[in-house]
Amino acid sequence: MALTTALLNSAYLHTRCYRHKILHPLLGPLLSDPMSKLYSSYKRPGSLPEEKKSWQNTDFSFKKSIDVLKSQLGLLKRETEDYLIGPGGKPLSHYILEQTKVLWEFRSQEDLNKWVISSDVEIGGKSEVHLTLGRNNQAALLYGTLNTEVPRDGETKYSGYCSMRSKPLLGSFARKKYYDWSNFNCLYLRVRGDGRPWMVNIYTDPYFSHQKDDLYNYFMFTRGGPYWEEIKIPFSKFFLSSRGRVQDDQHPIWLDKVSTLGFTIGDKVDGPFQLEIDFIGLINDRAHTEEFAYETYEKNPIA
């Protein structure tokens, strides 16, 4: 009875204090979709309204709460076992000598569910984007139509983009987790495009709130045609941007706190686009010795 009362009190606090839902990891999966909240964005005129769930439709089942608790405790147990074994659940000797690693491959719908897609529809635009499995379920097929027509809201100046982004890692009880890529120096992809350029985006968890819009970007040029191509992008080539503007103060990626990886097309060319991705991985290229490709400036102290 005491546990039931605690669960109901948590549900009440969740509806009154949504911004503090991290305090309710047990009821989080029951009351809302946590991943959809992570990718919510400001809706401008012309975008589709969000459907709000009523509290009457919330499932307060005691059995379901116990099942969620058991699953979260099981996940916590596996995380603890992996931590005792070594980084990422691998022995330290294996982790240090690791030269290649596959992060994502696309062979089933479950693999696609680890990603989200978005477009300028969120700001009232007209671009379309879709993500599905390719031929023989051997790749992810990202396709759609780019439309640079600016919405008539009196505020937006530019439009015409579509993107695909991985969902951030979540540990037990909705804890934030990060990818640690510090043991590698290059991103490695096998793709087949239509000749259009893409922007590869890496988002790291910021230390300060004013850095929440910071992204590390670099370009990926596809050849087009029937043949697959393997692309290697050193992390030293990624440059820092914020809200689409390249920053003067550049610094290398914080590879130990990577949150998400994404791809964006916005080349200002109206028409269809297509990108197939076989896998996304990491390599440690011993021949690449460059630490950072861009100049860094030391700020002069204020006199």
DSSP strand pairing (239-242 vs 115-119):
unpaired
Domain 99-283 falls in which CATH fold? Answer: Jelly Rolls (2.60.120)
**Domain residue ranges in the chain:** 1-45+61-97, 99-283
Is residue 42 within 8 Å of residue 124, measured between CB atoms?
no
Q: Chain centroid to CA 285: how far? A: 25
Say whether pLDDT at 15 is over 50: no
Q: Which region among 33-47, 150-164, 181-195 has the lowest average model confidence (pLDDT)?
A: 33-47
Residue 302: per-residue pLDDT: 61
Residue 58: per-residue pLDDT: 65
Model confidence, pTM: 0.73
Residue 4: per-residue pLDDT: 44
CA-closest candidate to residue 235, choices 217, 212, 211, 259: 217
Strands (E), the chain: 100-105, 115-119, 128-133, 140-146, 162-166, 186-193, 197-204, 214-221, 229-234, 239-242, 245-246, 258-265, 271-283
Residue 121: per-residue pLDDT: 92
Neighbours of 278 (CB within 10 A): 19
